[in-house]
């Protein structure tokens, strides 16, 4: 157990308040405080290294979390929870907070699936990541984050279970990183009771307790490097909203630099810094677990805003066509609060009002497509805008569209099996369907095009691919940059494909492994 | 939802519609882009963090149509519309400059009489626009075959709907009991 973050206020610099430029120095600077950076910070600090954490998000504690979407989306998410891919076809829900996405995620924990590891071994030379290598790191992080099997399912998850059972589809119950969880259902707006074992209440205070320093509302602009070594990180202070810079600059000097900004911001920082990229893979192969949604209208109250958001899932279609066949998808529920519902459903006027009126009876399902396992799923590419900020170009291939169509159908089939009166695929040309036969026929004809199907992502992966071969990867299997000696990437951007399951635990475990090895390397 | 028959568009227009709002504004000979980017930094004498008075008027006119069937009538409606404009403004003020720039272009396009007529089929000013004209705009953009207009619709939709349903006043009407009270 660590003391809470408030007790270390003296080690926190809230950069929006700075009036003059600052220079700080430590052993290791870590850019980003999410699943990768948070875990790395505590391990490196415990190893006796002076850690400096750089975070663009605001300093927040549970006292700031009021279960209000109108507050949480602007303050805790990238681009007000409506970050878009370049063609605006995919909405990316990504944290921009102290604790990164772990502060706002829905807490479901999975291991890297066996078929994913085999694919990585065969295709990307990552055979070292086998069960034997990974299990101690899973164990360590499960203990640290109090991961537990969850059995108190809300009506929405019970409906998933019921439908899958009826169809004889695979379904299982999930683990969550929570302690004394009160099943409020507001994981997505920041846990108001500190039940969620996010980085905010675990590893970040853990690192601060060991002498780390934290800079919030601090944006990492570029790494200054020379002769194969990074010398300094240049940062800009952001204003209290995090939308503009204040003009104050912060320079951070360290022996080692860890980039942990996630699948979009990590490659973007390296691109802005113009680090060598002989593999030409930097900012490429970015994956999203492209996600489609379906809303079922049930007779009974579902209250989809209450209770642990995700606790039952179905892998029926995840590997059905083999690892590199037609794209597989994992089926889960999603919490549905009013703003999320109102923006996911793109109609207007009476149709929209009628949908919103149903909200207590809506059972939402989502299907996450595992992208990156097939040659027709090469992922996205990070671009830098003129102002240096990042935007993801993610073309949706026919292969993925086929998967999205299949996913819409599977979700509707499950929802009708679970007792739905009507089902609405989240697609602007779809309507409410009254039975499975009607839905199946209509879904087969829906145009699968950008901004027709509503598509989402809550998992950004890849962009700084790891591998043993410098010509085919950005960093090595410990996350160390192939060309720059004192630079590492420790976050979900290392993955060579998507995971095929919610990626927080894989990021925690790999980060623990990589940071532990890095600590030894720096100290020697 | 029914789809609407696509209208004929010239190849030149199609090209511009595939690029950006800025491209459309250039096509329409608009000088708003430049003027606006200067105004963006100047502290305006209005109650909003980011919206200009003309933008606020547009939100105020679009919201009752986009949210028809969802807003209270009578005296409460005016207050609620004020709050929607305020919520819209607050959300935009948190966007990074690049996204704010895109929203600015969208408002410029809606404010410019040429682009408004060309792309939204609206020939009257926002002061005089009827609900039927605004319905026409929403229908046309919602199902447009141009991604740019679809994305413009989505942006307006999400900001307006988000501003209303993030407001606790909307909750009793949809049966959402609100967050639990923590003891």
Q: What's the pLDDT tens digit per position in A365-387?
A: 999 999 999 999 999 999 999 99
The minimal CB distance from A342 to the residues B142, B147, B165 is found for: B165
CA distance A299 to chain B (A): 14
Residue A197, both tokens: 């074992």
The minimal CB distance from B162 to the residues A339, A348, A387 is found for: A339
Taking an 8 Å cut-off on Cβ atoms, the answer to whether B66 and A354 are in contact is no
Chain segment A122-139, per-residue pLDDT in tens:
999 999 999 999 999 999
- Has residue B31 got a pLDDT over 80? no
Taking an 8 Å cut-off on Cβ atoms, the answer to whether A66 and B94 are in contact is no
pLDDT of B26 reads 61
Taking an 8 Å cut-off on Cβ atoms, the answer to whether B68 and A339 are in contact is no
Do the strands A286-287 and A291-297 form a parallel or antiparallel pair, or are they unpaired? unpaired
Q: Which of residues 74-103 of B touch A (CB under 8 A)?
A: 87, 90-91, 93-100
Whether B118 and chain A come into contact, CB under 8 Å, resolves to no
For residue B161, list chain A residues with Cβ-Cβ distance below 8 A.
339, 342-343, 348, 352
Task: Pick out chain A residues at pLDDT < 70.
Answer: 1-2
CA distance B143 to chain A (A): 8
Cα–Cα dist B50/B106, whole Å: 14
For residue A75, list chain B residues with Cβ-Cβ distance below 8 A.
94
- Of residues A485, A365, A512, the one with CA closest to residue A424: A365
Taking an 8 Å cut-off on Cβ atoms, the answer to whether A242 and B164 are in contact is no
- Give me the total of CB pairs closer than 8 Å, taking one residue from chain A and one from chain B: 137
Q: Which of residues 52-71 of B touch A (CB under 8 A)?
A: 65-70
Distances (CA, A) of A203 to A42, A199, A208, A343: 5, 5, 8, 34
Residue in B with minimal Cα distance to A85: B151
The minimal CB distance from B175 to the residues A241, A339, A360 is found for: A360
For residue B181, list chain A residues with Cβ-Cβ distance below 8 A.
none
Interface pTM (ipTM) of the complex? 0.96
Cα–Cα dist A246/B143, whole Å: 41
CA distance B137 to chain A (A): 12
pLDDT of B30 reads 52
Q: Stretch B14-28: mean pLDDT, rounded?
A: 59
Range A315-341 burial, b when 16+ CB lie within 10 A, else e: bbbbbeeebbeebbbbbbbbbbbbbbb
B21 contacts B105 by C-beta, under 8 angstroms: yes
pLDDT of B4 reads 44
3-state class of A466 per DSSP?
A: strand
Q: What is the mean pLDDT of chain B?
A: 85
- Has residue B15 got a pLDDT over 80? no
Taking an 8 Å cut-off on Cβ atoms, the answer to whether A343 and B174 are in contact is no
Cα–Cα dist A281/A273, whole Å: 15
Residue A5, both tokens: 């973050």
- Has residue B35 got a pLDDT over 50? no
For residue B84, list chain A residues with Cβ-Cβ distance below 8 A.
none
Chain segment B104-156, per-residue pLDDT in tens:
999 999 999 999 999 989 999 999 999 999 999 999 999 998 999 999 999 99
- Has residue B8 got a pLDDT over 60? no
CA distance A92 to chain B (A): 14
3-state class of A77 per DSSP?
A: strand
Output the CA angle A489-A495-A496, nearest 5 degrees: 125
3-state class of B162 per DSSP?
A: helix
């Amino acid at each position: 157990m660590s003391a809470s973050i408030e007790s270390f206020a003296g080690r926190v610099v809230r950069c929006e308040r700075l009036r003059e430029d600052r220079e700080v120095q430590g052993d290791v600077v870590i850019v980003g405080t999410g699943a990768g950076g948070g875990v790395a910070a505590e391990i490196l600090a415990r190893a006796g290294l002076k850690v400096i954490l750089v975070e663009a998000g605001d300093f927040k504690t549970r006292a700031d979390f009021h279960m209000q979407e109108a507050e949480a989306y602007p303050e805790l998410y990238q681009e007000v929870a409506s970050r878009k891919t370049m063609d605006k076809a995919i909405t990316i829900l990504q944290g921009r907070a102290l604790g990164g996405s772990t502060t706002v995620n829905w807490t479901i924990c999975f291991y890297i699936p066996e078929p994913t590891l085999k694919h990585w071994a065969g295709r990307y030379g990552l055979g070292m990541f086998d069960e034997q290598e990974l299990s101690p790191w899973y164990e360590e992080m499960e203990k640290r984050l109090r991961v537990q099997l969850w059995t108190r399912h809300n009506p929405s998850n019970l409906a998933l279970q019921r439908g899958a059972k009826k169809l004889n589809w695979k379904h299982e119950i999930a683990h969550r990183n929570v302690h004394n969880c009160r099943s409020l259902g507001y994981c997505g707006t920041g846990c108001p009771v500190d039940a969620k074992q996010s980085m905010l209440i675990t590893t970040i205070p853990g690192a601060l307790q060991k002498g780390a320093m934290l800079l919030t509302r601090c944006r990492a602009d570029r790494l200054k490097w020379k002769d194969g070594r990074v010398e300094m990180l240049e940062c800009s202070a952001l204003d209290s909203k995090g939308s503009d810079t204040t003009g104050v600059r912060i320079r951070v000097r360290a022996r080692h630099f860890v980039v942990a900004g996630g699948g979009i911001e990590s490659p973007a920082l390296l691109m802005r810094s113009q680090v060598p990229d002989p593999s030409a893979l930097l900012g490429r192969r970015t994956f999203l677990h492209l996600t489609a949604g379906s809303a079922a209208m049930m007779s009974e109250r579902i209250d989809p805003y209450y209770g642990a958001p995700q606790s039952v899932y179905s892998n029926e279609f995840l590997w059905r066509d083999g690892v590199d066949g037609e794209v597989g998808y994992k089926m889960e529920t999603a919490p549905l609060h009013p703003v999320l519902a109102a923006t996911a459903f793109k109609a207007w006027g009476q149709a929209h009002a009628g949908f919103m009126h149903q909200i207590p009876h809506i059972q939402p399902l989502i299907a996450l497509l595992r992208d990156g396992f097939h040659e027709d799923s090469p992922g996205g590419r990070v671009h830098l805008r003129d102002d240096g900020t990042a935007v993801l170009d993610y073309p949706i291939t026919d292969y993925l569209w086929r998967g999205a169509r299949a996913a819409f159908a599977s979700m509707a089939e499950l929802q009708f099996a679970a007792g739905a009166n009507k089902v609405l695929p989240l697609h602007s040309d779809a309507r409410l369907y009254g039975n499975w036969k009607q839905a199946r026929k209509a879904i087969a004809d829906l145009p699968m095009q950008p901004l027709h199907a509503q598509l989402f992502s809550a998992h950004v992966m890849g962009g700084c691919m790891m591998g043993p071969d410098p010509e085919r990867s950005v960093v090595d299997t410990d996350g160390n940059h192939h060309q720059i000696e004192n630079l590492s990437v420790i976050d979900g951007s290392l993955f060579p494909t998507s995971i095929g399951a919610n990626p927080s635990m894989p990021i925690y475990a790999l980060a623990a492994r990589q940071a532990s090895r890095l600590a030894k390397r720096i100290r020697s | 939802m029914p789809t609407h028959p696509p209208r004929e568009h010239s190849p030149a227009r199609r090209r511009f519609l595939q690029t950006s709002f800025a491209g459309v504004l250039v096509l329409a000979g608009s000088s708003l882009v430049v003027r606006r980017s200067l105004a963006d930094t100047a502290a305006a004498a209005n109650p909003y963090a980011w919206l200009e008075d003309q933008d606020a008027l547009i939100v105020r006119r679009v919201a009752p149509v986009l949210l028809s069937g969802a807003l209270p009538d009578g005296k409460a409606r005016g207050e609620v519309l004020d709050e929607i404009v305020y919520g819209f403004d607050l959300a935009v003020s948190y966007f990074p400059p690049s996204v704010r720039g895109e929203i600015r272009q969208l408002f410029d396009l809606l404010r410019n009489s040429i682009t408004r007529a060309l792309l939204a089929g609206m020939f009257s000013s926002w002061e005089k626009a009827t609900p039927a004209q605004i319905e026409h705009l929403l229908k046309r953009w919602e199902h447009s075959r141009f991604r740019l207009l679809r994305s413009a619709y989505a942006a307006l939709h999400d900001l307006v709907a988000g501003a209303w349903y993030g407001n606790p006043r909307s909750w009793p009407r949809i049966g959402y009991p609100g967050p639990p009270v923590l003891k």
